[in-house]
């Protein structure tokens, strides 16, 4: 017999129990007999001559099975009855105590939640100072719920936050460098020129090498497009003939437009005026200098 103690409010409550024992002395002999009866039956073939004998044998075997099963059920039921009763009693006690525990937990949770909120606010204030130190917006920080736990010290929180801020600073530095590379590359493109704005946005979902490749591809496309437009324009100009104050399609004789004359005073750099002059000449527009 073994004895255990349950301690409750400085008082001991003993529980004694004995390991269940079943004396089945005849098991070895019965096991041997069953082995002898069941040996090689998978190879046995029922015939017309053996039918009466086989039927009696089956009935006897079923009788032995029922006897074993019925006895097993009785012994197991009697042996487990005390365990079932004990289990029911202990569960009942547990439920009674659990009701009080749940009630207390609900009341304590109000204060625990308030404490978490207060610590959360304190953490935000201190983390805000750290963010200023790194020159990073506090919103960039991935705030961890465990930082609000009562058991999490500020030393641990600060260490985790600093590691994050250092990574953020490195990412921001790399982003600025990538943006400068894109801006410089955009300034190198001429005829036609390109703006950096859309490619800066691409950094949100593409690597810098991929963005630079995209810029080259786009500029090549613009060059081809400009060449095609220029060819189309030249063909259109060549197809026109001037007759008096009108432009006429040389092939169809259709009047395309009247000739208009305007007087402008242009102000700009030498390069700008040269570029404008080239544009006017390319489009076949007549011009003269006016004093």
pLDDT by residue (tens digit) across 184-222? 999 998 878 888 889 999 999 999 999 999 999 999 998
Strand segments (E) across the chain: 2-8, 11-17, 240-243, 246-249, 255-258
> How high is the pLDDT of residue 272?
77
Beta bridge partners of 257: 247
**In the chain, which stretches have pLDDT less than 50?**
240, 242-245, 253, 255, 257-259
The reported pLDDT for the residue numbered 18 is 74
Q: What is the pLDDT of residues 139-194, one digit of tens each?
A: 999 999 999 999 999 999 999 999 999 999 999 999 999 999 999 999 998 878 88
Left, alpha or beta for 23 (phi > 0: left; psi -120 to 50: alpha)?
A: beta
Helix pair 154-188, 51-134: axis angle to 10 deg = 70
pLDDT of the residue at 78? 82
HSE of 131 in the Cβ direction (CA atoms, 13 Å)?
A: 14
Please report how many Cα atoms fall inside a 13 Å half-sphere around the Cα of residue 270, on the Cβ side.
0
Say if pTM beats, i.e. exceeds, 0.85. no
Cα radius of gyration rounded to whole Å, the chain? 49
Residue 245 is predicted with a pLDDT of: 45
What is the distance between the alpha carbons of residues 233 and 138, in angstroms, rounded to a whole number?
A: 56
**CA–CA dist 198, 205 (Å, integer):** 12
Give the pLDDT score at 146.
95
CB 194 within 8 A of CB 183: no
**Residue linked to tokens 């995209």:** 214
Q: CB–CB of 247/259 below 8 Å?
A: yes
pLDDT score recorded for residue 244: 46
Tokens for 22?
A: 């079943």
pLDDT score, position 235:
66
């Amino acid at each position: 017999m073994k004895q255990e103690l349950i301690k409750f409010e400085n008082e001991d409550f003993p529980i004694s129990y004995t390991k269940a024992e079943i004396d089945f002395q005849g098991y070895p002999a019965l096991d041997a007999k069953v082995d002898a009866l069941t040996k090689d039956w998978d190879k046995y073939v029922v015939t017309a001559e053996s039918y009466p004998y086989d039927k009696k044998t089956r009935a006897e075997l079923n009788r032995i099975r029922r006897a074993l099963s019925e006895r097993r059920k009785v012994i197991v039921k009697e042996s487990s009855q005390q365990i079932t009763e004990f289990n029911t009693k202990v569960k009942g006690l547990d439920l009674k105590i659990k009701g009080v525990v749940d009630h207390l937990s609900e009341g304590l949770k109000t204060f625990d939640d308030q404490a978490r909120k207060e610590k959360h606010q304190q953490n935000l204030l201190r983390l805000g100072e750290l963010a200023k130190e790194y020159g990073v917006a506090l919103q960039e920080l991935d705030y961890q719920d465990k930082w609000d736990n009562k058991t999490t010290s500020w030393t641990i929180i600060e260490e985790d936050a600093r590691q994050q801020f250092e990574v953020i600073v490195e990412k921001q530095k790399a982003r600025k460098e990538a943006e400068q590379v894109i801006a410089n590359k955009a300034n190198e493109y001429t005829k036609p020129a390109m703006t950096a704005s859309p490619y800066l946005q691409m950094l949100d979902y593409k690597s810098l090498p991929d963005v630079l490749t995209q810029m080259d591809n786009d500029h090549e496309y613009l060059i081809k497009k400009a060449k095609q437009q220029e060819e189309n324009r030249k063909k259109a100009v060549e197809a026109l003939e001037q007759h008096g104050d009108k432009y006429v399609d040389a092939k169809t004789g259709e009047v395309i437009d009247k000739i208009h004359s305007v007087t402008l005073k242009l102000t700009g750099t030498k390069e700008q005026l040269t570029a404008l002059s080239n544009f006017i000449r390319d489009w076949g527009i007549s011009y003269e200098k006016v004093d």
